[in-house]
Amino acid sequence: MKNIISKLLSSGFLKSSLIVSISKVISSLSNLVFMVYAVNIISKTENGYLQYYLGFLPVVLAVAELGIPSAIVKYLSVAKTDLSKIGVLMEATLLIKLISFFILLVAGLLSYLIFNMDPLIVFVLVVGGTVTSFLTYFESIIVSYRDYKNLAIWNPLGNITKLILLYICNTYSYNPLTYLDILVIFSFSPLLIRGLYFYLSRKIEFKWTGELHSVILRIKELSFFNLWAFLASIFAILSDRMELFFLKLYHTPESVAIYGTTLQLFSGFVILFSTLNSLILPRLSVAADQKEFNKLLFKSMFTSLVVAIILIPGLFLAEPILTFLFKNKYSESIPVFKILYPNYLLQLLFAPLGIALFAMGKPKILAMLAFIRLLSGVILDNILIPEYSVSGAGISFFLGQIISWLVLLGYFWATIWKE
């Protein structure tokens, strides 16, 4: 083990991990404080609606991104010294994002016409989701250049900004904030910091446009790659959030509030997954051969294992954490937290394998795995949630991923490790 750690240190992997991890921790804490603050200033019913509509936002983000951040890291990591290739790639990705915005507009209009969804909420989700998607868009460019110092600055800015804005609005507003006010703050606050990216990247030699014919060819290439990346993202997000929709279907908004609030406590894990992606994907994308690829992958898996072991004691802190954050307002969240926590530890262990599939150019496999997870979740949700409410949602969330994890391990064993 000492040998592995010394190699990680000499490669700079742990140093980069530390820089990015600290910024991600700050970002995670800011997001957690935002959600705790928001939950404590509105009623449980209002919070139920907030959590329900926040459940749509990741889906909107997935459409707004269309797999572009992962594609940028994959292709820009190997072309960052060729300005012509950079220009073609960036113009192609921006045009794809424009297409995704029109897709969201059509979807929003259909939601209003068919499901009679509040047009204001549709506007907030569509436009706000598109605005928010540029946070990961710019982050992927920084990651491609492995500019971890600027990444450490950029990462927490979005969550810090929305926290400050929520505090100002709550302090100086004449009327109490509603779930819609908080949803607007959550969705549109990234507008305030978008220009800062260009200041952080001012020393990078970069280009945003390319030759039209090459741009069209790149769009076709990215569209094929991103189609599966997009489907994988959509299936994964729906799998992560669909318990909220089934709780809304079978139970009261209060049940949605309990489960949704519990999920928010795991935002730190989401940040960890993002950190791993930032550190692992650019390295795997430029691996010289299969031997180096496997070596980097095993290093990543070892790092994930160490972090998961360190985080195990968090399982026993559910009650004091929830009591401290929400007093006794969300005491029903304690058993759900204890069900979900081991699941997130296991997600951390398997995360490097999912990232490796992107680096290998195999988003189709990842989409298939995510679909298996989604299908399992839908079946379990309809069996468990009507009877067991929020506890059933937690159990369904946990069990729904086991099959996809086993298939993922089987794929790597059969195609790479067995050799």
- Say if residue 54 is exposed, middle or buried (CB neighbours under 10 Å; 0-12, 13-18, 19+): buried
Position 20 scores a pLDDT of: 66
Summary count for the chain: helices (H), strands (E) = 18, 0
Say which residue, 237 or 189, is predicted with more confidence: 189
**34: which residues sit within 8 A by CB, 6+ positions away?**
159, 162, 163, 166, 186
Rounded to the nearest 5°, which phi and psi values hold at 48?
-60, -45
Position 104 scores a pLDDT of: 93
What letter would DSSP give residue 269? H
Task: Tell me the residue type at 372.
Answer: I
Length of the chain (residues): 419
Q: Assign 207 to helix, strand or coil.
A: coil
* Residue 150 CA from chain centroid, whole number: 20
Which tens digits make up the pLDDT trace of 281-316?
667 766 667 778 888 888 888 888 888 898 898 888
Rounded to the nearest 5°, which phi and psi values hold at 176?
-60, 140
Position 418 scores a pLDDT of: 59
Position 360 scores a pLDDT of: 80
Q: How far apart are the C-alpha atoms of 140 and 25, rounded to whole Å?
A: 18
Say which residue, 90 or 146, is predicted with more confidence: 90
Q: Residue 142 in contact with residue 200, Cβ under 8 Å? A: yes
pLDDT bucket at 15, cuts 50 / 70 / 90? low
Q: Residue 293 in contact with residue 284, Cβ under 8 Å? A: yes
pTM summary value: 0.75
Cα angle value 292/137/160 (rounded, 5°): 110
pLDDT bucket at 161, cuts 50 / 70 / 90? very high
Crossing angle (nearest 10°) for helices 179-188 and 119-144? 30
pLDDT at residue 7 above 60? no
- Say if residue 232 is exposed, middle or buried (CB neighbours under 10 Å; 0-12, 13-18, 19+): buried
Which tens digits make up the pLDDT trace of 360-384?
877 788 888 888 888 988 999 999 9
Which tens digits make up the pLDDT trace of 115-143?
888 899 999 999 999 999 998 899 888 88
**What mean pLDDT comes out for the span 26-32?**
82
Q: How far apart are the C-alpha atoms of 157 and 220, rounded to whole Å?
A: 33
Rounded to the nearest 5°, which phi and psi values hold at 59?
-65, -45
Q: Assign 235 to helix, strand or coil.
A: helix
What letter would DSSP give residue 362? -
Position 10 scores a pLDDT of: 47
What letter would DSSP give residue 191? G
Q: How far apart are the C-alpha atoms of 122 and 109, rounded to whole Å?
A: 8
Position 140 scores a pLDDT of: 87
Closest CA to 80 of 37, 141, 165: 141
Q: How far apart are the C-alpha atoms of 244 and 247, rounded to whole Å?
A: 5
Closest CA to 64 of 158, 155, 9, 136: 136
